């Protein structure tokens, strides 16, 4: 019987049709498009193209009131697609900056990591996941499930608050503190009574993670589930993902964690080496 993982917490008028690149106009927006979604996507595009956007510029671009533009930009900031750079100025956030590279590289990263995830799962006897950061969330993109009768099930496809997961913490701890702070413009979400509940708690905890070289999660994303997380970096030492070993809390006890972390570091280095090597 698997240990059950925590549930995922729970312009006025259309824009002008751009040129499709071959001399013909692109298709007009569908009649069922949602104005708010369309406006948010136009702001994301503008941030990516211009590198900076003021509230009044966003309002003019969309043909809406400044208060509406401000709410849209605030939502994009909350989701990591924008960063408030002071006053009423917004710039691209980490989710926007990395989205293109992640979309291109994720499949390749999964392919590279898979054999190492499988070997690590066989070595530890536990469930292993590959995780990437999306805004302030941790997305589980691949994994290998333990063969033990009592085990943690796969979470592939789920997105949980990064600070509630060992893999998410491992990535956050490898980021500059100011970037971490920018990911939490509206406070911190908790999943259990053990989840880090404030930005100050997260920052203190991440300092410890950076010092010891791995992150832990004891019932912070799901009751009775524990995990260890280790960051994966590219050749420039930039964090690109993390691996997590998860098990029922009764089996992942403190004396066992440092030994597992050593094996995880070896796997992480192997994944990094294979990922950045020319193929």
Query: Tokens 């809406």 map to which residue?
Result: 64
Q: Give the global pTM.
A: 0.65
Question: pLDDT at residue 26 above 70?
Answer: no
Q: What gap in Å lies between CA 257 and CA 73, rounded to an integer?
A: 42
* 146 close to 127: Cβ distance less than 8 angstroms: yes
What the block records as the tokens of 217 is 């999660």
Buried b or exposed e, range 5-21, using 16+ CB within 10 angstroms: bbeeeeeeeeeeeeeee
Question: pLDDT at residue 33 above 70?
Answer: no
- Span 89-114, mean pLDDT? 71
Tell me if residue 1 falls in helix, strand or coil.
coil
User: Rounded mean pLDDT of the chain?
Assistant: 84
Count CA atoms within 13 Å of residue 64 on its CB side: 23
Q: What share of the chain is helix, strand, coil (3-state, %, to 5)?
A: 45, 20, 35
pLDDT digits (tens, 9 = 90+) for 104-163: 455 588 999 999 999 999 999 999 999 999 999 999 999 999 999 999 999 999 999 999
The strand pairing partners of 216, in sequence order, are: 228
Question: pLDDT at residue 8 above 90?
Answer: no
Q: What gap in Å lies between CA 107 and CA 113, rounded to an integer?
A: 10
CATH topology match: 35-92 vs 97-276: no
pLDDT of residue 86: 73
Q: Where are the domains of the chain?
A: 35-92, 97-276
The strand pairing partners of 227, in sequence order, are: 217, 246
Q: Which residues contact 205 (CB under 8 A, 6 or more apart)?
A: 163, 169, 196
What the block records as the tokens of 153 is 């099930």
96 against 127, higher pLDDT:
127
Q: What is the share, in percent, of the chain residues with pLDDT greater than 70?
A: 82
Buried b or exposed e, range 198-224, using 16+ CB within 10 angstroms: ebeebbebbeebbeeebbbbbbbbbee
Tell me if residue 88 falls in helix, strand or coil.
coil
pLDDT of residue 277: 61
Phi and psi angles of residue 266, each rounded to the nearest 5 degrees, phi first: -60, -45
pLDDT of residue 14: 40
Superfamily of domain 97-276: GAF domain (3.30.450.40)
pLDDT of residue 118: 97
CATH number of 35-92: 1.10.10.10
pLDDT digits (tens, 9 = 90+) for 218-253: 999 999 999 999 999 988 889 999 999 999 999 999
pLDDT of residue 27: 45
Question: pLDDT at residue 18 above 80?
Answer: no
Question: pLDDT at residue 74 above 70?
Answer: yes
The strand pairing partners of 102, in sequence order, are: none
* CA-based end-to-end distance of the chain: 41
């Amino acid at each position: 019987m698997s240990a059950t993982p925590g549930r995922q917490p729970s312009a006025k008028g259309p824009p002008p049709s751009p040129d499709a690149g071959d001399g013909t106009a692109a298709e007009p927006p569908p009649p069922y498009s949602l104005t708010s979604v369309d406006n948010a996507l136009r702001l994301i595009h503008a941030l990516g193209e211009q590198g900076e956007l003021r509230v009044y510029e966003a309002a003019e671009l969309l043909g809406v009131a400044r208060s509406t533009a401000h709410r849209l930009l605030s939502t994009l900031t909350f989701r990591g697609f924008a960063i408030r750079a002071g006053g009423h100025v917004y710039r691209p956030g980490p989710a926007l900056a990395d989205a293109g590279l992640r979309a291109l590289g994720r499949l390749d990263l999964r392919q590279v990591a898979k054999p190492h995830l499988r070997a690590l799962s066989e070595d530890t006897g536990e469930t292993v996941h590959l995780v990437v950061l999306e805004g302030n969330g941790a997305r589980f993109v691949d994994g290998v499930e333990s063969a033990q009768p009592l085990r943690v099930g796969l979470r592939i496809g789920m997105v949980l608050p990064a600070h509630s997961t060992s893999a998410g913490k491992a990535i956050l701890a490898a980021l500059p503190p100011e970037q971490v702070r920018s990911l939490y413009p509206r406070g911190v979400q908790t999943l259990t009574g053990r989840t880090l509940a404030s930005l100050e708690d997260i920052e203190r905890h991440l300092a410890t993670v950076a010092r010891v070289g791995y992150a832990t999660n004891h019932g912070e994303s799901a009751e009775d589930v524990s995990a260890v997380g280790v960051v994966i970096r590219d050749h420039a030492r930039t964090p690109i993902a993390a691996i997590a070993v998860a098990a029922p809390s009764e089996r992942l006890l403190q004396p066992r964690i440092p030994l597992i972390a050593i094996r995880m570091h070896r796997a992480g280095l192997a994944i990094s080496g294979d990922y950045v090597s020319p193929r």
